[in-house]
C-alpha cells in the first residue's frame, strides 16, 4: 500500500487519466439523473418554451431578449445556454434523457478544465494538490442542483468557458502572445452570453495576475497595465450589454395590454425592499456565513431560500457581531499564512470575487440565496480546504525535484495523511450528493422532500398546495384526503407574507369557486383587491365572485372598469352580457354580446351562447330555441344543446315543449344531461 501511495504522490499522470477519473466520478454520482424528467424550471426554460422547441431554426430569436408575460421570457439573457438546448432538441427531440446526459458531460469537462487551471496556476505544487481540490469540488452536494436541474446548464457553461478564459489569460501572462489574450476574451464572451454572472471574471483576472506576479506585482507597471486594460473594457461592455437586454421592449406590449399582476419580489428575496449598504450589511454577513457553513456542512440543503428563510438582520443582533469576529479571525489566519500558503488568500479572494454578484450589494436579485450561486465560488473554498489540511498535517504541496532519486518517507507520510483526509471528506460529500439528487426526480419529490426544512417560506407552501390541487384535479377521488392539507398550505403561504401574496390567494379562491364555496372565494377575491387594487385580473375575478353570489348589480361596475384596464379579456363582454340579462337590461346585454363578437371574432361561440341565455332570461321562446340550436353550427355538443332547451322549458313549466324536445333527442340518440 505504501509503495502504491508513494508512486501516486510522486509520479505525474497524463492529463487524460484525470479526465477519465472525473468522468467516472460524475457518472457514478449522477448517473441516475439520466432517468429523470423535466423538473421545476426545466419546464419553463425548455419543455414549455416554444422557441427552444423549434430547434436550430430558433437560434436567431434566442439572441434577442423578449420581456413578455410568458414564463419562458422571464429567463435572463443567456443565448448560448438556450442555443445548446435548441441543438439537443434538433438532434434528439424534446427528450430529457439527452439534456441530462449533456449536463453530466459538461460537468465532467468543467471539473477537468478546473483541474488544468488550478494545476497550471499552482505550477510549483504537485498535481495532487489540484486533483484533490477539484475532487472535493466534483463531489460537493452544493452542486447537485446545477447538475440534476437541466435549466442550470447556464452555470455549467459559465464555469466551463470562464475557466478556459482564465487558462488562456494565464498563458498570455507567461508568454505575452496576444493570440492567447484574444482567445481568453472570446471565451469570456461565450461565458457572459451563457449567464450574466460571468462578469465576476473581471475581478478574477487581476487576482490571477497578482498571484502569478506575487513576488513583485508592480515591478513592471507597463506589463501590469497592458495585461489588464482589457478587463476594464470587458467590464464596461458587459454592463452595457446587460442593461441593453434589460431595456428590451420585445414583448412588453403584452404586459401592458394584459394588465398583468406581478407578485412582490420580496417573496424571493428578503432584502428586496432594503436599501443602503449599511442597512443590508448585517443580512449580507449572515448570508456569507450560511454559504461558508453549507460548504463545510452541506445539510440541510433546500431548493429555495425565499421569504422568510433568511430573515432580515439588524446591527442589534449579537449573532451578526459574533460572525464578524469569526470572519475576521479567519481572515487573520489567511493573512498570517499568506507567504507559506498563498493558496489560502487566492482561494479566499476567488470565493469572494465570484460570489460578489450574489451578495445584493450593488444589485438585488430575485433569490436571497441558492445552491447554484456557489457553483463557481466553491472552487475557491475547495482550494482553501486542501491548503488548510496541508497546514494542519504539515504537508508541503511543493513540487519534488525531478532529480531526486529517492522520495523521503516523511514527505510521503504527510502527503498520505492529507490524501486520506481529503478522500474521506470526498466520500462523505459524494454520499450526500448521491442522496440529495433523489429529490430532483420530480416536482413532487423536490417540494415534498424539502418542505420540512422550509416551514416559514411563503412560496414553498404555495408550491406544495399547487401540487396537491393538481393531484385532486387529476384524481377527484383524492379530494377528501388532500383538500384540508391543500387549503392549510395555501393559508400558511398567505399568513407568512400577507401584504405580498397574490398567487396563493388567487389559486385558493379559484379552488373555492370550483367546488361551489362561493362566499369563501369572494372573500379572498375582495382581500386580493385590497392589496392589489385597480388591476384587471383582480377586478375580473372579483366580479366573477359577485356573479356566483347572484350580485349582478355590483358586478357590472367592476366589469366596466376591467374593460378599461384590460380590454383584451374576452370574458368581460361575456360576463357583462349575462349580468345585464339577469338585471333585465336586455338591450345592454345584446349590445355587450355584439361588441364581444366584433372584438373577439375567434371566440364567437361563447357570445352566441350568451345570446341564448339572454333570450332565456327574456322568456323569448322562439328566439331562445333558435339561438340555442344555432350553437350546433359552432361546434356545440348536441347533448348540451338539447339538455339546455329541455331544462329551460321545465323552468318555464312548459312541459309539453320539454317532452317534445326530449322525444326528438331520443329519436336522434342524443343523451340528455340531468
Q: pLDDT (tens digit, 9 = 90+) per residue, 504-516?
A: 999 999 999 999 9
Integer CA distances (angstroms), 542 to 466, 527, 539, in order: 21, 10, 5
| CB burial of residue 445 (10 Å; 0-12, 13-18, 19+) | middle
Closest to 364 in 3D by CA, of 298, 319, 318, 307: 307
Integer CA distances (angstroms), 244 to 56, 59, 105, 248, 363, in order: 24, 19, 33, 7, 16
Average pLDDT of the chain? 91
8-state DSSP, 216: S
| CB burial of residue 619 (10 Å; 0-12, 13-18, 19+) | exposed
Phi, psi at 549, each rounded to 5°: -95, 10
Q: Residue 412: pLDDT band by 50, 70, 90 thresholds?
A: low
Q: Is the pLDDT of residue 83 over 90?
A: yes
Q: pLDDT (tens digit, 9 = 90+) per residue, 18-48?
A: 999 999 999 999 999 999 999 999 999 998 8
Report d(CA 198, CA 164) in Å as an integer.
12
Domains in the chain: ranges and CATH? 17-437 (no CATH), 445-667 (1.25.40.10)
Average pLDDT over residues 532-548: 94
What pLDDT is stored for residue 401 in this prediction?
A: 40
Kindly give the residue spans of alpha helices, DSSP state H, lying in 259-299.
277-296
Q: Residue 391: pLDDT band by 50, 70, 90 thresholds?
A: very high
Phi, psi at 125, each rounded to 5°: -105, 155
Average pLDDT over residues 284-313: 96
Q: What HEC string does 323-384 produce?
A: HHHHHHHHHHHHHHCCCCCHHHHHHHHHHHHHHHHHCCCCCCCCCCCCHHHHCCHHHHHHHH
Output 407 or 415, whichever has higher pLDDT. 415
Q: Which residues contact 658 (CB under 8 A, 6 or more apart)?
A: 646, 649, 650
Q: Is the dihedral of CA 499, 501, 504, 509 positive or negative?
A: positive
Q: pLDDT (tens digit, 9 = 90+) per residue, 297-309?
A: 999 999 999 999 9
Number of Cβ atoms within 10 Å of the Cβ of 431? 13
Phi, psi at 398, each rounded to 5°: -65, 150
Residue count of the chain, please give it.
674
What pLDDT is stored for residue 8 in this prediction?
A: 44
The C-alpha torsion from 390 through 392 and 395 to 396, rounded to 10°, is: 60
Report d(CA 239, CA 245) in Å as an integer.
10
8-state DSSP, 428: H
| Residue carrying the nine cell digits 359577485 | 546
Q: Is the pLDDT of residue 394 over 60?
A: yes
Q: Is the pLDDT of residue 520 over 80?
A: yes
SS3 of the chain: helix, strand, coil, percent, to 5: 75, 0, 25
What pLDDT is stored for residue 296 in this prediction?
A: 97
Q: Residue 345: pLDDT band by 50, 70, 90 thresholds?
A: very high
Task: Give SS3 for 478.
Answer: helix
This prediction's pTM? 0.91
And the C-alpha cell for 294? 453549507
Number of Cβ atoms within 10 Å of the Cβ of 481? 13
Q: pLDDT (tens digit, 9 = 90+) per residue, 466-504?
A: 999 999 999 999 999 999 999 999 999 999 999 999 999
| 8 A C-beta contact, residue 141 and residue 301 | yes
| 8 A C-beta contact, residue 38 and residue 52 | no
Report d(CA 280, CA 358) in Å as an integer.
13
Report d(CA 627, CA 575) in Å as an integer.
18
| Strands (DSSP E) found in 61-152 | none
Q: Is the pLDDT of residue 13 over 80?
A: no
| Residue carrying the nine cell digits 506585482 | 217
Least confident of 205-219, 449-463, 601-615: 205-219
Q: Residue 4: pLDDT band by 50, 70, 90 thresholds?
A: very low
Q: Is the dihedral of CA 659, 665, 671, 674 positive or negative?
A: negative
Task: Provide the percentage of residues in the chain whose pLDDT is more than 70.
Answer: 93
Q: Is the pLDDT of residue 370 over 70?
A: yes
Phi, psi at 458, each rounded to 5°: -55, -50
What pLDDT is stored for residue 622 in this prediction?
A: 95
Q: Residue 258: pLDDT band by 50, 70, 90 thresholds?
A: low
Integer CA distances (angstroms), 163 to 160, 351, 475, 500, in order: 5, 14, 49, 40
Q: Residue 417: pLDDT band by 50, 70, 90 thresholds?
A: confident
Least confident of 60-69, 404-413, 532-541, 639-648: 404-413
Report d(CA 106, CA 103) in Å as an integer.
5
Q: Is the pLDDT of residue 335 over 90?
A: yes
Q: Residue 523: pLDDT band by 50, 70, 90 thresholds?
A: very high
What pLDDT is stored for residue 402 in this prediction?
A: 39
Task: Provide the percentage of residues in the chain whose pLDDT is more than 90.
Answer: 81
Q: In the chain, count H helices and then E strands.
A: 31, 0
What pLDDT is stored for residue 261 in this prediction?
A: 81
What pLDDT is stored for residue 259 in this prediction?
A: 60
Q: pLDDT (tens digit, 9 = 90+) per residue, 421-455?
A: 999 999 999 999 999 999 999 999 999 999 999 99
Cα end-to-end distance, the chain, whole Å: 83
Integer CA distances (angstroms), 145 to 79, 148, 249, 454, in order: 21, 5, 32, 17
Amino acid at each position: 500500500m505504501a509503495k502504491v501511495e508513494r508512486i501516486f504522490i510522486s509520479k505525474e499522470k497524463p492529463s487524460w487519466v484525470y479526465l477519465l477519473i472525473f468522468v467516472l466520478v460524475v457518472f457514478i454520482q449522477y448517473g441516475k439523473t439520466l432517468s429523470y424528467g423535466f423538473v421545476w424550471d426545466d419546464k419553463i426554460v425548455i419543455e414549455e418554451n416554444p422557441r427552444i422547441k423549434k430547434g436550430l431554426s430558433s437560434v436567431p430569436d434566442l439572441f434577442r431578449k423578449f420581456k413578455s408575460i410568458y414564463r419562458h421570457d422571464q429567463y435572463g439573457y443567456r443565448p448560448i445556454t438556450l442555443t445548446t438546448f435548441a441543438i439537443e432538441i434538433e438532434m434528439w427531440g424534446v427528450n430529457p434523457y439527452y439534456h441530462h446526459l449533456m449536463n453530466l458531460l459538461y460537468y465532467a469537462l468543467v471539473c477537468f478544465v478546473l483541474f488544468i487551471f488550478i494545476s497550471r496556476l499552482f505550477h510549483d505544487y504537485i498535481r495532487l494538490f489540484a486533483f484533490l481540490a477539484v475532487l472535493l469540488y466534483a463531489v460537493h452536494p452544493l452542486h447537485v442542483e446545477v447538475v440534476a436541474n437541466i435549466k442550470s446548464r447556464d452555470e455549467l457553461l459559465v464555469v466551463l468557458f470562464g475557466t478556459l478564459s482564465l487558462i488562456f489569460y494565464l498563458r498570455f501572462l507567461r508568454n505575452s502572445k496576444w493570440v492567447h489574450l484574444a482567445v481568453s476574451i472570446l471565451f469570456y464572451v461565450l461565458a457572459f452570453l451563457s449567464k450574466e454572472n460571468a462578469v465576476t471574471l473581471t475581478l478574477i483576472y487581476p487576482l490571477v495576475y497578482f498571484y502569478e506576479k506575487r513576488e513583485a506585482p508592480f515591478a513592471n507597471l507597463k506589463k501590469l497595465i497592458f495585461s489588464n486594460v482589457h478587463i476594464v473594457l470587458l467590464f464596461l461592455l458587459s454592463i452595457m450589454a446587460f442593461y441593453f437586454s434589460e431595456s428590451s421592449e420585445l414583448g412588453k406590449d403584452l404586459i401592458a395590454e394584459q394588465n398583468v399582476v406581478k407578485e412582490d419580489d420580496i417573496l424571493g428575496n428578503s432584502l428586496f425592499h432594503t436599501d443602503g449598504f449599511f442597512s443590508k450589511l448585517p443580512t449580507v454577513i449572515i448570508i456569507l456565513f450560511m454559504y461558508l457553513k453549507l460548504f463545510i456542512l452541506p445539510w440541510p440543503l433546500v431548493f429555495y431560500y425565499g421569504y422568510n428563510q433568511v430573515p432580515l438582520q439588524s446591527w442589534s443582533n449579537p449573532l451578526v457581531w459574533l460572525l464578524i469576529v469569526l470572519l475576521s479571525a479567519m481572515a487573520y489566519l489567511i493573512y498570517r499564512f499568506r507567504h507559506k500558503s498563498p493558496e489560502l488568500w487566492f482561494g479566499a479572494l476567488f470565493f469572494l470575487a465570484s460570489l460578489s454578484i450574489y451578495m445584493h450589494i450593488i444589485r438585488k436579485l430575485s433569490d436571497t440565496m441558492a445552491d447554484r450561486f456557489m457553483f463557481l465560488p466553491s472552487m475557491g473554498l475547495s482550494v482553501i480546504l486542501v491548503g488548510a489540511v496541508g497546514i494542519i498535517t504539515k504537508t508541503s504541496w511543493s513540487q519534488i525535484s525531478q532529480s531526486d532519486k529517492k522520495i523521503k518517507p516523511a514527505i510521503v507520510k504527510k502527503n498520505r495523511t492529507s490524501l486520506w483526509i481529503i478522500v474521506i471528506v470526498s466520500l462523505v460529500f459524494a454520499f450526500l450528493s448521491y442522496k440529495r439528487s433523489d429529490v430532483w426526480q420530480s416536482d413532487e419529490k423536490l417540494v415534498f422532500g424539502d418542505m420540512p426544512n422550509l416551514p416559514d417560506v411563503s412560496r414553498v407552501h404555495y408550491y406544495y398546495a399547487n401540487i396537491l390541487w393538481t393531484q385532486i384535479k387529476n384524481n377527484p377521488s383524492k379530494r377528501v384526503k388532500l383538500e384540508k392539507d391543500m387549503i392549510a398550505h395555501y393559508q400558511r403561504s398567505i399568513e407568512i407574507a400577507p401584504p405580498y401574496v397574490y398567487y396563493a390567494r388567487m389559486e385558493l379562491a379559484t379552488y373555492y369557486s370550483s367546488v361551489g364555496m362561493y362566499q369563501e372565494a369572494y372573500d379572498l377575491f375582495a382581500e386580493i383587491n385590497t392589496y392589489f387594487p385597480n388591476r384587471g385580473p383582480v377586478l375580473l375575478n372579483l366580479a366573477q365572485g359577485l356573479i356566483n353570489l347572484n350580485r349582478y348589480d355590483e358586478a357590472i361596475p367592476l366589469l366596466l372598469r376591467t374593460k378599461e384596464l384590460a380590454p383584451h379579456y374576452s370574458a368581460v363582454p361575456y360576463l357583462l352580457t349575462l349580468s345585464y340579462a339577469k338585471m333585465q337590461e336586455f338591450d345592454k346585454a345584446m349590445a355587450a354580446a355584439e361588441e364581444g363578437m366584433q372584438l373577439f371574432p375567434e371566440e364567437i361561440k361563447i357570445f352566441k351562447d350568451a345570446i341564448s341565455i339572454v333570450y332565456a332570461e327574456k322568456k323569448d321562446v322562439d328566439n331562445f330555441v333558435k339561438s340555442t340550436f344555432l350553437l350546433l353550427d359552432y361546434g356545440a355538443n348536441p347533448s348540451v344543446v338539447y339538455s339546455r332547451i329541455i331544462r329551460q322549458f321545465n323552468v318555464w313549466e312548459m312541459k309539453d315543449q320539454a317532452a317534445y324536445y326530449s322525444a326528438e333527442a331520443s329519436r336522434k340518440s342524443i343523451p340528455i344531461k340531468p
